[in-house]
Amino acid sequence: MSNLVGFTKGRKSQLMNGLRGDEVHEGLEDVVVANSSICRIDGQAGQLIYRGYPIGELAAHCSFEEVAHLLWHGSLPDAVSLREIADAVGAQSALTLPMVELLRRFPHYAEPMSVLRTAISALGMYDPRAESDVQETNVELAYVLTAKASSAVATYARLRRGEDPVAPDPGLSHAGNFLYCLTGEYPDELATQVFDNCLTLHAEHGFNASTFAARVTAATLSDMYSAITSAIGALRGPLHGGANQRVMGMLEEIGSPDKAREWVMARLAARKRIMGFGHRVYRVEDPRATVLREWCQKLGDALGQGQWHDISLAVEQVLSEEKGLHPNVDFYSASVYRMLGIENDLYTCIFAMSRMVGWTAHVLEQWSHNRLIRPRCNYMGPDSLTVAPVEDR
Protein backbone atom coordinates (compact mmCIF):
# COMPACT_ATOMS: atom_id res chain seq x y z
CA MET A 1 0.00 0.00 0.00
CA SER A 2 1.08 3.62 0.35
CA ASN A 3 4.29 4.88 1.94
CA LEU A 4 4.72 8.63 1.54
CA VAL A 5 8.37 9.52 1.93
CA GLY A 6 8.82 12.89 0.24
CA PHE A 7 12.01 11.91 -1.59
CA THR A 8 13.06 9.10 -3.87
CA LYS A 9 15.55 6.66 -2.36
CA GLY A 10 18.33 8.34 -4.36
CA ARG A 11 17.55 11.81 -3.05
CA LYS A 12 17.21 10.44 0.47
CA SER A 13 20.60 8.79 0.15
CA GLN A 14 22.15 12.07 -0.97
CA LEU A 15 20.88 13.84 2.11
CA MET A 16 22.13 11.11 4.42
CA ASN A 17 25.59 11.42 2.81
CA GLY A 18 25.69 15.13 3.49
CA LEU A 19 24.92 16.28 -0.06
CA ARG A 20 22.37 19.03 -0.65
CA GLY A 21 19.03 17.88 -2.01
CA ASP A 22 18.11 21.43 -2.96
CA GLU A 23 16.64 21.09 -6.44
CA VAL A 24 13.30 22.92 -6.42
CA HIS A 25 10.26 21.58 -8.28
CA GLU A 26 7.76 24.43 -8.27
CA GLY A 27 4.31 23.12 -7.38
CA LEU A 28 5.92 19.69 -6.76
CA GLU A 29 5.68 19.11 -10.51
CA ASP A 30 6.97 15.65 -11.48
CA VAL A 31 7.93 14.86 -7.88
CA VAL A 32 6.83 11.34 -6.94
CA VAL A 33 5.81 11.34 -3.28
CA ALA A 34 4.09 7.99 -2.86
CA ASN A 35 3.21 4.56 -4.07
CA SER A 36 -0.53 4.08 -4.51
CA SER A 37 -2.74 1.31 -5.85
CA ILE A 38 -5.83 3.50 -6.29
CA CYS A 39 -5.36 5.31 -9.59
CA ARG A 40 -3.01 5.50 -12.57
CA ILE A 41 -2.92 8.44 -14.99
CA ASP A 42 -0.99 8.43 -18.26
CA GLY A 43 -1.15 11.99 -19.52
CA GLN A 44 0.67 11.23 -22.75
CA ALA A 45 -1.72 8.42 -23.73
CA GLY A 46 -4.84 10.03 -22.25
CA GLN A 47 -5.52 7.19 -19.84
CA LEU A 48 -7.25 7.30 -16.46
CA ILE A 49 -7.40 3.97 -14.67
CA TYR A 50 -9.11 3.20 -11.36
CA ARG A 51 -7.47 0.14 -9.75
CA GLY A 52 -6.75 -1.40 -13.13
CA TYR A 53 -9.99 -0.46 -14.93
CA PRO A 54 -9.93 2.21 -17.67
CA ILE A 55 -12.39 5.00 -16.98
CA GLY A 56 -14.22 4.34 -20.24
CA GLU A 57 -14.91 0.76 -19.19
CA LEU A 58 -16.24 1.84 -15.81
CA ALA A 59 -18.39 4.60 -17.29
CA ALA A 60 -19.89 2.21 -19.82
CA HIS A 61 -20.57 -0.75 -17.56
CA CYS A 62 -20.64 0.24 -13.87
CA SER A 63 -22.77 2.31 -11.55
CA PHE A 64 -21.28 4.87 -9.19
CA GLU A 65 -21.90 2.49 -6.29
CA GLU A 66 -19.83 -0.18 -8.03
CA VAL A 67 -17.02 2.31 -8.61
CA ALA A 68 -17.18 3.41 -4.97
CA HIS A 69 -16.78 -0.20 -3.86
CA LEU A 70 -13.83 -0.56 -6.22
CA LEU A 71 -12.06 2.51 -4.85
CA TRP A 72 -12.76 1.73 -1.20
CA HIS A 73 -12.30 -2.04 -1.22
CA GLY A 74 -10.07 -2.72 -4.20
CA SER A 75 -12.45 -4.78 -6.33
CA LEU A 76 -15.72 -4.50 -8.17
CA PRO A 77 -18.57 -5.92 -6.07
CA ASP A 78 -20.66 -8.96 -6.81
CA ALA A 79 -24.44 -8.59 -6.69
CA VAL A 80 -24.63 -9.15 -2.93
CA SER A 81 -21.81 -6.74 -2.10
CA LEU A 82 -23.28 -4.14 -4.44
CA ARG A 83 -26.61 -4.29 -2.66
CA GLU A 84 -24.86 -4.06 0.71
CA ILE A 85 -22.81 -1.00 -0.17
CA ALA A 86 -25.75 0.73 -1.84
CA ASP A 87 -27.84 0.11 1.28
CA ALA A 88 -25.01 1.21 3.58
CA VAL A 89 -24.54 4.52 1.76
CA GLY A 90 -28.28 5.04 1.32
CA ALA A 91 -28.91 4.46 5.02
CA GLN A 92 -26.66 7.43 5.84
CA SER A 93 -28.24 9.89 3.40
CA ALA A 94 -30.73 11.61 5.68
CA LEU A 95 -29.43 14.63 7.58
CA THR A 96 -30.15 15.01 11.28
CA LEU A 97 -32.29 17.92 12.44
CA PRO A 98 -29.28 19.78 13.92
CA MET A 99 -27.52 19.59 10.55
CA VAL A 100 -30.58 20.85 8.68
CA GLU A 101 -30.94 23.71 11.15
CA LEU A 102 -27.27 24.57 10.74
CA LEU A 103 -27.70 24.75 6.95
CA ARG A 104 -30.83 26.84 7.44
CA ARG A 105 -28.83 29.44 9.40
CA PHE A 106 -26.30 29.98 6.63
CA PRO A 107 -26.88 33.11 4.54
CA HIS A 108 -28.56 32.46 1.20
CA TYR A 109 -25.70 34.24 -0.56
CA ALA A 110 -23.01 31.98 0.94
CA GLU A 111 -20.62 30.35 -1.52
CA PRO A 112 -21.82 26.70 -1.72
CA MET A 113 -18.33 25.22 -1.33
CA SER A 114 -17.92 27.20 1.88
CA VAL A 115 -21.23 25.77 3.05
CA LEU A 116 -20.12 22.23 2.23
CA ARG A 117 -16.74 22.74 3.92
CA THR A 118 -18.43 23.95 7.11
CA ALA A 119 -21.10 21.24 7.01
CA ILE A 120 -18.50 18.47 6.75
CA SER A 121 -16.53 19.94 9.63
CA ALA A 122 -19.72 20.14 11.72
CA LEU A 123 -20.61 16.53 10.92
CA GLY A 124 -17.37 15.48 12.58
CA MET A 125 -18.37 17.15 15.84
CA TYR A 126 -21.67 15.26 15.90
CA ASP A 127 -20.09 11.87 15.12
CA PRO A 128 -18.75 10.04 18.20
CA ARG A 129 -16.77 7.74 15.89
CA ALA A 130 -14.77 10.58 14.35
CA GLU A 131 -11.61 9.91 16.40
CA SER A 132 -11.60 6.17 15.78
CA ASP A 133 -8.42 4.51 14.56
CA VAL A 134 -10.22 1.29 13.63
CA GLN A 135 -10.07 0.55 9.91
CA GLU A 136 -13.63 -0.81 9.68
CA THR A 137 -15.03 2.25 11.43
CA ASN A 138 -13.21 4.62 9.11
CA VAL A 139 -14.55 2.74 6.10
CA GLU A 140 -18.02 3.36 7.53
CA LEU A 141 -17.15 7.05 7.86
CA ALA A 142 -16.29 7.06 4.15
CA TYR A 143 -19.85 5.87 3.48
CA VAL A 144 -21.22 8.57 5.80
CA LEU A 145 -19.26 11.36 4.16
CA THR A 146 -20.27 10.29 0.66
CA ALA A 147 -23.95 10.11 1.58
CA LYS A 148 -24.21 13.25 3.68
CA ALA A 149 -22.17 15.49 1.40
CA SER A 150 -24.73 14.86 -1.34
CA SER A 151 -27.64 15.54 1.01
CA ALA A 152 -26.02 18.69 2.40
CA VAL A 153 -25.58 20.20 -1.07
CA ALA A 154 -29.14 19.39 -2.14
CA THR A 155 -30.61 20.59 1.16
CA TYR A 156 -28.77 23.91 1.15
CA ALA A 157 -29.73 24.51 -2.48
CA ARG A 158 -33.41 24.12 -1.56
CA LEU A 159 -33.21 26.14 1.66
CA ARG A 160 -31.65 29.14 -0.05
CA ARG A 161 -34.51 29.07 -2.59
CA GLY A 162 -36.98 29.18 0.28
CA GLU A 163 -38.03 25.55 -0.24
CA ASP A 164 -38.32 22.76 2.29
CA PRO A 165 -35.75 19.94 2.27
CA VAL A 166 -36.73 16.70 0.54
CA ALA A 167 -36.08 13.45 2.39
CA PRO A 168 -34.02 10.88 0.44
CA ASP A 169 -35.88 7.97 -1.11
CA PRO A 170 -34.22 4.65 -0.17
CA GLY A 171 -35.42 3.15 -3.43
CA LEU A 172 -33.25 5.47 -5.52
CA SER A 173 -29.59 5.23 -6.44
CA HIS A 174 -27.08 7.70 -5.03
CA ALA A 175 -27.23 9.72 -8.27
CA GLY A 176 -31.01 9.55 -8.46
CA ASN A 177 -31.40 10.63 -4.85
CA PHE A 178 -29.32 13.74 -5.32
CA LEU A 179 -31.38 14.89 -8.30
CA TYR A 180 -34.60 14.05 -6.44
CA CYS A 181 -33.55 15.88 -3.25
CA LEU A 182 -32.34 18.86 -5.28
CA THR A 183 -35.42 19.33 -7.48
CA GLY A 184 -38.19 17.60 -5.53
CA GLU A 185 -39.06 15.63 -8.66
CA TYR A 186 -38.14 12.06 -9.51
CA PRO A 187 -35.51 12.09 -12.27
CA ASP A 188 -36.05 10.07 -15.42
CA GLU A 189 -33.80 7.18 -16.40
CA LEU A 190 -31.63 9.25 -18.75
CA ALA A 191 -30.96 12.00 -16.21
CA THR A 192 -30.09 9.43 -13.54
CA GLN A 193 -27.76 7.55 -15.85
CA VAL A 194 -26.00 10.69 -17.00
CA PHE A 195 -25.49 12.03 -13.48
CA ASP A 196 -24.36 8.61 -12.25
CA ASN A 197 -21.70 8.68 -14.98
CA CYS A 198 -20.66 12.19 -13.97
CA LEU A 199 -20.07 10.99 -10.42
CA THR A 200 -17.95 8.11 -11.70
CA LEU A 201 -15.86 10.34 -13.95
CA HIS A 202 -15.05 12.75 -11.11
CA ALA A 203 -14.58 10.14 -8.37
CA GLU A 204 -10.79 9.89 -8.46
CA HIS A 205 -7.78 11.50 -10.11
CA GLY A 206 -4.56 10.62 -8.35
CA PHE A 207 -2.56 13.10 -6.31
CA ASN A 208 -4.32 16.30 -7.35
CA ALA A 209 -4.17 19.25 -4.96
CA SER A 210 -7.24 18.36 -2.90
CA THR A 211 -6.36 14.68 -2.59
CA PHE A 212 -2.84 15.56 -1.53
CA ALA A 213 -4.25 18.01 1.02
CA ALA A 214 -6.40 15.23 2.44
CA ARG A 215 -3.41 12.91 2.69
CA VAL A 216 -1.22 15.56 4.32
CA THR A 217 -3.86 16.09 7.00
CA ALA A 218 -4.46 12.35 7.41
CA ALA A 219 -0.70 11.78 7.76
CA THR A 220 -0.71 13.78 10.99
CA LEU A 221 -3.19 11.16 12.30
CA SER A 222 -5.95 13.73 12.39
CA ASP A 223 -9.48 12.40 11.83
CA MET A 224 -11.30 11.58 8.60
CA TYR A 225 -13.57 14.64 8.80
CA SER A 226 -10.58 16.96 9.18
CA ALA A 227 -8.83 15.39 6.21
CA ILE A 228 -11.90 15.83 4.02
CA THR A 229 -12.41 19.40 5.21
CA SER A 230 -8.84 20.10 4.09
CA ALA A 231 -9.60 18.57 0.70
CA ILE A 232 -12.71 20.70 0.24
CA GLY A 233 -10.75 23.82 1.14
CA ALA A 234 -8.20 23.00 -1.57
CA LEU A 235 -10.85 22.14 -4.17
CA ARG A 236 -12.61 25.44 -3.48
CA GLY A 237 -9.70 27.37 -5.01
CA PRO A 238 -10.31 28.58 -8.59
CA LEU A 239 -7.13 26.91 -9.87
CA HIS A 240 -8.50 23.51 -8.88
CA GLY A 241 -12.29 23.29 -8.73
CA GLY A 242 -14.80 25.66 -10.23
CA ALA A 243 -13.63 25.73 -13.85
CA ASN A 244 -16.86 24.15 -15.11
CA GLN A 245 -18.86 26.94 -13.50
CA ARG A 246 -16.86 29.48 -15.49
CA VAL A 247 -17.21 27.35 -18.63
CA MET A 248 -20.98 27.71 -18.37
CA GLY A 249 -20.65 31.46 -18.07
CA MET A 250 -18.52 31.43 -21.21
CA LEU A 251 -21.06 29.39 -23.19
CA GLU A 252 -23.85 31.72 -22.09
CA GLU A 253 -21.81 34.73 -23.20
CA ILE A 254 -21.11 33.22 -26.63
CA GLY A 255 -24.80 32.46 -27.09
CA SER A 256 -24.77 30.58 -30.40
CA PRO A 257 -22.39 28.35 -32.39
CA ASP A 258 -21.90 30.90 -35.19
CA LYS A 259 -20.41 33.37 -32.70
CA ALA A 260 -17.91 30.91 -31.23
CA ARG A 261 -14.98 31.61 -33.59
CA GLU A 262 -15.15 35.37 -33.18
CA TRP A 263 -15.41 35.08 -29.40
CA VAL A 264 -12.53 32.62 -29.10
CA MET A 265 -10.25 34.55 -31.46
CA ALA A 266 -10.86 37.78 -29.57
CA ARG A 267 -10.06 36.01 -26.33
CA LEU A 268 -6.85 34.56 -27.74
CA ALA A 269 -5.81 37.95 -29.14
CA ALA A 270 -6.24 39.45 -25.67
CA ARG A 271 -4.15 36.59 -24.21
CA LYS A 272 -6.97 35.60 -21.90
CA ARG A 273 -7.48 32.09 -20.66
CA ILE A 274 -10.32 29.99 -22.05
CA MET A 275 -11.73 27.75 -19.35
CA GLY A 276 -12.14 24.00 -19.83
CA PHE A 277 -9.06 23.49 -22.00
CA GLY A 278 -5.64 22.14 -21.19
CA HIS A 279 -4.64 20.12 -18.15
CA ARG A 280 -1.64 19.89 -15.84
CA VAL A 281 -1.38 16.15 -16.58
CA TYR A 282 -3.00 15.33 -19.93
CA ARG A 283 -1.20 16.17 -23.17
CA VAL A 284 -4.01 14.72 -25.26
CA GLU A 285 -7.76 14.72 -24.71
CA ASP A 286 -8.88 14.08 -21.16
CA PRO A 287 -10.62 10.66 -21.37
CA ARG A 288 -13.41 11.96 -19.16
CA ALA A 289 -14.19 14.69 -21.69
CA THR A 290 -14.67 12.01 -24.35
CA VAL A 291 -17.49 10.42 -22.34
CA LEU A 292 -19.07 13.73 -21.37
CA ARG A 293 -19.13 15.02 -24.94
CA GLU A 294 -21.39 12.10 -25.90
CA TRP A 295 -23.68 12.67 -22.92
CA CYS A 296 -23.88 16.38 -23.73
CA GLN A 297 -25.14 15.57 -27.21
CA LYS A 298 -27.60 12.89 -26.04
CA LEU A 299 -29.04 15.11 -23.32
CA GLY A 300 -29.30 18.06 -25.67
CA ASP A 301 -31.16 15.98 -28.26
CA ALA A 302 -33.51 14.53 -25.63
CA LEU A 303 -34.28 17.85 -23.95
CA GLY A 304 -34.30 20.14 -26.96
CA GLN A 305 -31.26 21.98 -25.63
CA GLY A 306 -28.77 21.01 -28.30
CA GLN A 307 -27.37 24.55 -28.45
CA TRP A 308 -25.06 23.82 -25.51
CA HIS A 309 -23.43 20.91 -27.31
CA ASP A 310 -23.23 22.86 -30.55
CA ILE A 311 -21.61 25.91 -28.96
CA SER A 312 -19.19 23.69 -27.04
CA LEU A 313 -18.22 21.77 -30.16
CA ALA A 314 -17.65 25.00 -32.09
CA VAL A 315 -15.37 26.34 -29.35
CA GLU A 316 -13.50 23.05 -29.22
CA GLN A 317 -12.91 23.06 -32.98
CA VAL A 318 -11.49 26.58 -32.99
CA LEU A 319 -9.10 25.86 -30.12
CA SER A 320 -8.01 22.60 -31.71
CA GLU A 321 -7.23 24.35 -35.00
CA GLU A 322 -5.61 27.44 -33.53
CA LYS A 323 -3.80 26.12 -30.46
CA GLY A 324 -3.93 22.33 -30.57
CA LEU A 325 -5.74 22.37 -27.21
CA HIS A 326 -8.04 19.63 -25.99
CA PRO A 327 -11.03 19.88 -23.62
CA ASN A 328 -10.73 18.64 -20.07
CA VAL A 329 -13.39 17.17 -17.79
CA ASP A 330 -14.75 20.61 -16.89
CA PHE A 331 -15.66 21.64 -20.42
CA TYR A 332 -18.55 19.35 -21.28
CA SER A 333 -19.61 18.71 -17.68
CA ALA A 334 -20.76 22.36 -17.52
CA SER A 335 -23.46 21.91 -20.18
CA VAL A 336 -24.43 18.50 -18.81
CA TYR A 337 -25.07 19.94 -15.35
CA ARG A 338 -27.03 22.84 -16.82
CA MET A 339 -29.32 20.44 -18.69
CA LEU A 340 -29.80 18.40 -15.52
CA GLY A 341 -31.19 21.50 -13.81
CA ILE A 342 -28.24 22.14 -11.51
CA GLU A 343 -27.43 25.76 -10.65
CA ASN A 344 -24.08 27.06 -11.88
CA ASP A 345 -22.62 27.77 -8.45
CA LEU A 346 -23.23 24.18 -7.35
CA TYR A 347 -20.93 22.71 -9.99
CA THR A 348 -17.84 22.58 -7.77
CA CYS A 349 -19.91 20.96 -5.05
CA ILE A 350 -20.80 18.20 -7.51
CA PHE A 351 -17.08 17.73 -8.04
CA ALA A 352 -16.61 17.43 -4.27
CA MET A 353 -19.53 15.02 -3.86
CA SER A 354 -18.02 12.75 -6.50
CA ARG A 355 -14.45 13.04 -5.29
CA MET A 356 -15.54 12.20 -1.73
CA VAL A 357 -15.06 8.54 -2.65
CA GLY A 358 -11.56 9.12 -3.97
CA TRP A 359 -10.54 11.35 -1.08
CA THR A 360 -11.68 8.87 1.54
CA ALA A 361 -10.03 5.99 -0.34
CA HIS A 362 -6.75 7.90 -0.23
CA VAL A 363 -7.12 8.68 3.47
CA LEU A 364 -7.65 4.98 4.18
CA GLU A 365 -4.63 4.10 2.06
CA GLN A 366 -2.52 6.74 3.79
CA TRP A 367 -3.35 5.31 7.19
CA SER A 368 -2.60 1.76 6.07
CA HIS A 369 1.13 2.59 6.02
CA ASN A 370 1.41 6.05 7.44
CA ARG A 371 4.37 8.40 7.47
CA LEU A 372 4.15 12.08 8.36
CA ILE A 373 4.50 14.20 5.22
CA ARG A 374 7.26 16.72 5.86
CA PRO A 375 8.93 18.22 2.77
CA ARG A 376 11.82 20.68 2.89
CA CYS A 377 12.39 24.08 1.37
CA ASN A 378 15.48 26.04 0.38
CA TYR A 379 15.87 29.01 2.70
CA MET A 380 16.60 32.12 0.61
CA GLY A 381 16.78 34.78 3.35
CA PRO A 382 19.70 36.35 5.22
CA ASP A 383 21.84 34.59 7.84
CA SER A 384 23.76 35.65 10.97
CA LEU A 385 21.90 38.88 11.69
CA THR A 386 22.29 40.45 15.12
CA VAL A 387 19.50 42.12 17.06
CA ALA A 388 19.93 45.85 17.58
CA PRO A 389 18.32 47.54 20.57
CA VAL A 390 14.83 48.76 19.77
CA GLU A 391 15.80 52.42 20.01
CA ASP A 392 18.53 51.90 17.36
CA ARG A 393 16.35 50.16 14.72
Average pLDDT over residues 366-377: 94
Query: Model confidence at 21, in pLDDT bands (50, 70, 90)?
Result: low
Domain residue extents for the chain: 64-238+349-367, 243-339
Average pLDDT over residues 80-106: 97
Reported as a single tens digit per residue, the pLDDT across 190-245 is 999 999 999 999 999 999 999 999 999 999 999 999 999 999 999 998 888 888 88
The 3-state secondary structure of the chain, one letter per residue = CCCCCCCCHHHHHHHHCCCCCCCCCHHHCCCCCCCCCCEEEECCCCEEEECCEEHHHHHHHCCHHHHHHHHHHCCCCCHHHHHHHHHHHHCCCCCCHHHHHHHHHCCCCCCHHHHHHHHHHHHHHHCCCCCCCCHHHHHHHHHHHHHHHHHHHHHHHHHHCCCCCCCCCCCCCHHHHHHHHHHCCCCCHHHHHHHHHHHHHHCCCCCCHHHHHHHHHHHCCCCHHHHHHHHHHHHCCCCCCCHHHHHHHHHHHHCCHHHHHHHHHHHHHCCCCCCCECCCCCCCCCHHHHHHHHHHHHHHHHHCCCHHHHHHHHHHHHHHHHHCCCECHHHHHHHHHHHCCCCHHHHHHHHHHHHHHHHHHHHHHHHHCCCCCCCCCCCCCCCCCCCCCHHHC
Fold for the domain defined by 243-339: Cytochrome p450-Terp; domain 2 (1.10.230)
Catalytic residues: 240, 279, 330
pTM recorded for the entire structure? 0.92
Reported as a single tens digit per residue, the pLDDT across 322-333 is 999 999 999 999
Question: Does 64-238+349-367 carry CATH code 1.10.580.10?
Answer: yes
Q: Evaluate whether 64-238+349-367 and 243-339 have a shared fold.
A: no
Average pLDDT over residues 249-257: 96
